[in-house]
Amino acid sequence: MTPSSLPKQTPPSGTPEPSGASGTPEPSAPGAPQAPAPAGASPRRLAALRGGPDVPHKHLDARALAALAANPGCRRRALLDGAGVDKGAVAQALGSPAPFGQSQFALVRGNAFEARVKADGGQVLLALLCEQVGEARPEPEQVVVPDVTADGPAGRAERTRLALAEVPEGSWGLLDHPWLSLRVAGSTAYLEPDALAVHPDGSLSIIEIKSFPILDGAADTVKAGAAARQSAVYALALETQPRAVRESALLVCPKDFSNLPAAGLLPLRKQIAATRRQLRRLTRLEEIAAELPEGVHFAPTQEPEELAAAVESVPAAYAPECLSTCELAFHCRQRARGAGSVVALGRSVRGELGGLATVPDVLAAASGDPGSAAAQDPAAALLRRAAALRAQALQDAAARGPARGSSQAPAARDAEVG
């Protein structure tokens, strides 16, 4: 992303209507991740999957939902995330902890930067937003800053809904850490954006504050893409609000490793469409839970063998991309490698291999054995050709090696004599 090169955003004209992030009303579709939705798995059932009512519930956040949307075929992650299972504790108990996440230093630095840009009633944030969208910067007394504090996630989500209604038409509003709710696969996820800005025309801008820097006017594309996916999840959660959500989110980051803020707009239209489509593909939690053996739960305090059996009772869809987004990725990779599954090599390799699901099948297809069932797969001819090319390359390299060594030996002996 290059914030300075992004086009200025034009505010929507006219009175905003209830809509999606594109500003166009969309009909509700069955299975869509927006309220109201049919009741999913009961809270009692979800608590039993965690190991009992005393086991803390780990709420879904936008980062987890974005990861789910990127891999909707993983029933294991869908069930454990939806039930509020602490996957990090499960991975630790299984002996495959995931060594990723923000360091304590990064968290402290990020919190300090966020506090800096939100000081003075968020005037810095609004100034950056107005600069990007081409609107006049409001005076501090023209900005409504509602209180969104309440008890519990559901209470804070309801208080956010009321706070959005409190901002009068024609005024600016800024909500600091509002809470939103989103129905996903029959479970309710509660989300917490960094900030929401209400424009005088009544539309909403999502604001994401990150600690990674914008260097020479450009942000890291991978990190900026992750921020856009999280913002798309927030936009989906805001579709139930009567205010239109703008098509671009504001990304605020430190400028060139300093504490000075820089900003750019993140286009959301394609991300929203892709995230909505992927979340609709998620299997509902009660359907996955109904296939589990009786009495299975995922409490990390149980015996490791029992926990491993419980985790393996739910199918996974491992891919190398999971290593940066899922706490159970190292466990799933170990099992995929142990089973010789080609998914451990990546989605692109898996797609090229067609019906060959294991490494032994691939080797059998490449061997050219006509009696092998794998040799009948459409990918077998390509594998045999690749194996022949590899063998020829190794043979040529071996033939060149001794010749090169014999030609260099006399020169080395002359150098030693001299």
Q: What is the pLDDT of residue 100?
A: 61
Q: What is the pLDDT of residue 11?
A: 38
| Alpha-carbon distances of 170 from 15, 63, 198, 200, 207, rounded to whole Å | 11, 33, 10, 4, 20
| Alpha-carbon distances of 190 from 153, 179, 360, 392, rounded to whole Å | 6, 7, 44, 58
Per the structure, the complete domain to which residue 246 belongs is given by 3-10+101-280
**CB-based contact 136:130 (threshold 8 Å):** yes
User: By three-state DSSP, how is residue 36 classified?
Assistant: coil
Interval 156-212: pLDDT, tens: 999 999 999 999 989 999 999 999 999 887 778 899 999 999 999 999 999 999 989
How is residue 316 annotated by DSSP? -
Q: What is the pLDDT of residue 110?
A: 84
Q: What is the pLDDT of residue 377?
A: 73
Question: Which two structure tokens, joined as six digits, stand for 397?
Answer: 């390299």
Residue 76 lies in a domain: no
CA distance 93 to 3: 43
Residue 368 lies in a domain: no
* Closest C-alpha among 142, 199, 167 to residue 10: 199
E strand or H helix that includes residue 11: none
Residue 309 lies in a domain: no
CATH classification at residue 139: 3.90.320
Q: What is the pLDDT of residue 249?
A: 96
Residue 152 lies in a domain: yes
Interval 345-384: pLDDT, tens: 887 787 778 778 888 888 887 777 776 767 777 777 778 8
Residue 224 lies in a domain: yes
Q: What is the pLDDT of residue 6?
A: 42
Residue 387 lies in a domain: no
CA distance 271 to 11: 20
Residue 78 lies in a domain: no
Q: How many CB atoms lie within 10 A of CB 219?
A: 22
Question: Which two structure tokens, joined as six digits, stand for 401?
Answer: 């090696």
Residue 75 lies in a domain: no
Size (the chain), residues: 418
Q: What is the pLDDT of residue 28?
A: 39
Domain count of the fold of the chain: 1
Low-confidence ranges of the chain (pLDDT < 50): 1-39, 415, 417-418
